Amino acid sequence: MRAQYHTVALLLCSGLLAACHAAFVPNDRADLILWKNQAGLDEEAETTSLINRFNASQAKWRVVAQSLPQGGYDQSVVAASLAGRMPCVLAVDSPMVASYAWAGHLRPLDGYVPARTLARVSPATIGAFAGKVYAVGQFDAALALYARRSVLARMHARIPTLDRPWTQAEFQALLERLKASGGYRYPLDLETRDDKASWWTYAFSPMLESFGGDVIDRRTMTSAEGALNGAAAQRFGAWFQGLFAKGLADRQEPDDNAFVDGRAAIVYTGDWWADAYRTSAGNDLLILPPPDFGTGVVIGGGSWQWAISTSCAHPDGAGAFITFMLQDRQIADMSDATGDVPVTEGAAAASRDFGPHGKSRIFYDLMRRFARPRPATPAFPAIATAFTTAMRDIMDGKDVHDALDDATDDIDGTIADHHGYATAGGR
Amino acid sequence: MSAPADRRGWTPLWFGAPAVLGLGLFVVLPFVMALILTFTDQRLVSPAPGAFVGLRNYDRLLSVSALVQNPVRDGVPVYARVRSVTRTKRAYLGYRPLAGFGLGRRRVTILAKDPAFLKALGNTFAFAVMVVPLQCGVALGLALLVNAGLRGQTVFRAVYFSPVVMSMVIVSVVWAFLFDRDLGLINQALGALSCGLIKPIDWLGNPSTAMPAIVIMSAWQGAGFQMLILLAGLQGISRELYDAARIDGASPWQCFWHITVPGLRHTIGFVLVVTTIAALGLFTQVDVMTGGGPRGATATVMFEAVQHGVREGNIAYGATISVVYFALITILILIQQLMQRRRVGEAA
């Protein structure tokens, strides 16, 4: 009975779709279907207004935007690629660019987006694979530590700067002093409440890199051996485990308000929380670079990026759209509307908050100086789940070496199954 | 060939056709495709079509071995690190420790190529064993309560049923708050009731309490549905039986045990089967509340299948998990059917 309804519903739907299609009046402009993730109302509205601006600015193409829920966005793109119904322009989460490029779903941007335009963009927001650029971001995000000036003063802690961030020893000593002060059950909030692999790789693989390890050996991109389970990675794992074992961080904060409510003294998160924290902490708020764990500060680079699908019939139109979106004015407007970090110096200067004296300038500086993209390999989805599983197990007390060995074997196994991703499908 | 005979042959088929077509298209066909996938290395994102790899997926999923070690140092025995052995010795490549025990001076480690799956399998059945009696017991209690002829029972019936119509994701998020160690209502209530004797329990953060916590929450959420079915069963029992029993001087307990339970036998059987099937598909609560943690304590088969098949994009391996799980459940159902048939045979 149920199945019958399915069939009827399916027939009705296809009928409706056909009707819609017929109602579409053809004109002299070529339609470019665009897919984007729903990242929030501000971003939604601003993207729509930028698209309208693009459509009004020329007479050859019309971008038709369709936004899809962010939760299942990757799955939708994968489904569309399997069904051979990719849109023309699409937003891709930066770590997925290599996957799609390798699978042949994306077209290199060269020839469609001028090299001059790409050269002005912050390097971490370029989605490259096998020596070619496949995607580019209009904005980026940046990780930082948030703290209160009054709390650090009470702890007699030095206020770190971009040039002199906290060392591991300083950071650790501060956390332990905060804990000993009795004012905080868990002085540090690492946002581990979010158990998604996207957050864990974005937030904690840069820490691993700062320790001197990595989720994959970036010289060869064919193995994680040594990088993810070597001495540096084990030191990172032991330190990370200690944070939870010593009660310096909570494995799962009950809500997102640990810092706002004063339950935590320091929170490690992204620029998207800046406004909420400014509202609650006012002038007392400090936005600080993450600690240098040995080899310099590292933060994750690369947010959602624009790409052109292989099946796009009008790649020059798609390229014109992306080039338009990368104009300083459009970047600055997007940044003003959403608080996202602009990716060019010109746009930062033109924006409300990211200019040389803007209140969010630090995020631009952090991105320019410390952002490192996640490894551009089609193995990334496997890396993300393996790394996240290992780190969550380590947090919960699993033997650090065993956990990292497991993750390394998972990643190397996946790469071996694909013969090292030698047969790239990118064209 | 006469016309009536022809009609008798074709009419049922015509009537059944839409349902059969739907079932074939949406259930049988996907399953056959999944079965084919299990013999390939198909990925969701890949330039090459899946290649035939024989039984590799099954080998990786189900291989089990054991490692017996002599201590490298006597006294307090010290053994070589298992993971170092399994990563270097050819015979153990690909294996990871699942469980271990001492055997005299020796240490035996059970190894598996995918210990996470075997653990998830155990977790899923443990969940079913815990949640089915609890949920059905609670449901029966509630059904008796709202059938007792008390005042306002319609209101209570609606109240008890309301969790069922709520989205499982929302219920999970709310219960994650309730279970919080420091701020959660459950720990605060336990602390207050025991005058602080019961220390805050890290319900979802401790491997030994995480699954029971999910059991409690799932039973609370689902019991209303079983209550409704049992209520229908209760109302099907003739009042005359109770009246006759009361005249004979039966106590309420005797009435329950000798009239209600036998009268509900078929309903209870149905409820048990439905609850078990639902329990074996446990996914949403785990995905929202614990993400399979801590240390795999709440990972279930469905969670593993989604994790590998969708999030890692290894659809062939995800399909293999589903197919193996399907086979296991089929065997269980066959055993249950056999036992039931034998019991019916004995009764006759």
Query: Using one digit for the tens of pLDDT, what is the confidence trace for A21-38?
Result: 444 444 678 899 999 998
Question: In chain B, which stretches have pLDDT less than 50?
Answer: 1-2
Predicted pLDDT at A137? 93
Is B104 part of any domain? yes
B74 and B145 share a domain?
A: no
Cβ <8 Å between B23 and A81: no
Does the residue B94 lie in any domain?
yes
User: Measured between CA atoms, how close is A94 to chain B, in angstroms?
Assistant: 15
Check B296 against A393: CB less than 8 A apart: yes
Give the alpha-carbon dihedral of B87, B93, B94, B98, to 10 degrees: -80
Rounded distance between C-alpha atoms, residue A229 and residue A45, angstroms: 44
Alpha-carbon distance of A283 to A297, in angstroms, equals 25
How many whole angstroms separate alpha carbon A191 and alpha carbon A247? 15
Report yes or no on B91 lying in a domain. Answer: yes
Range with lowest mean pLDDT among A234-238, A419-423, B315-319: A419-423
CA-based nearest distance A146→chain B, Å: 23
Please identify, among B92, B112, B132, the residue that sits at the C-terminal boundary of a domain.
B112
Q: Are residues B209 and B273 in the same domain?
A: yes
Are B80 and B123 contained in the same domain? Answer: no
Asked whether residue B156 falls in the same domain as residue B280, the answer is: yes
> Taking 80 as the threshold, does the pLDDT of residue A185 lie above it?
yes
B90 & B121 share domain: no
Contact at CB, A381 and B307, closer than 8 angstroms = no
Q: How high is the pLDDT of residue B3?
A: 52
Q: Does any domain span residue B309? A: yes
* Nearest-CA distance A405 → chain B (Å): 8
CATH number of B127's domain? 1.10.3720.10
Paired strand residues for A305? A92, A137
Instruction: Look at chain B and report how many structural domains it folds into.
Output: 2
> Closest to B295 (Cβ–Cβ): which among A382, A398, A417?
A398
Pair B166, B251 in one domain: yes
**Helix, strand, coil in percent for chain B, rounding step 5:** 65, 5, 25
B164 falls within a domain = yes
**Is the residue at B325 inside a domain?**
no
Helix axes A197-211, A231-245, angle to 10 degrees: 120
Quick one: B165 and B93 in the same domain?
A: no
- State whether B128 and B226 are in the same domain: yes
Is the pLDDT score of A232 beyond 90? Answer: yes
The residue range of the domain holding B184 is 116-313
Task: Record the pTM.
Answer: 0.87
Place of tokens 């496949």: A134
**pLDDT band (50, 70, 90) for residue A200:** very high
Residues B232 and B154 in one domain: yes
pLDDT on residue B154: 84
- One domain, residues B98 and B183: no
Q: Is A27 on the interface with B (CB under 8 A)?
A: no
A193 lies within 8 A of chain B by CB = no
Task: Indicate whether B10 belongs to any domain.
Answer: no
Tell whether B289 is covered by a domain.
yes
Same domain assignment for residues B163 and B263: yes
- Please tell me whether residues B76 and B152 are part of one structural domain: no
Cα–Cα distance for residue pair A309/B15, rounded to 1 Å: 46
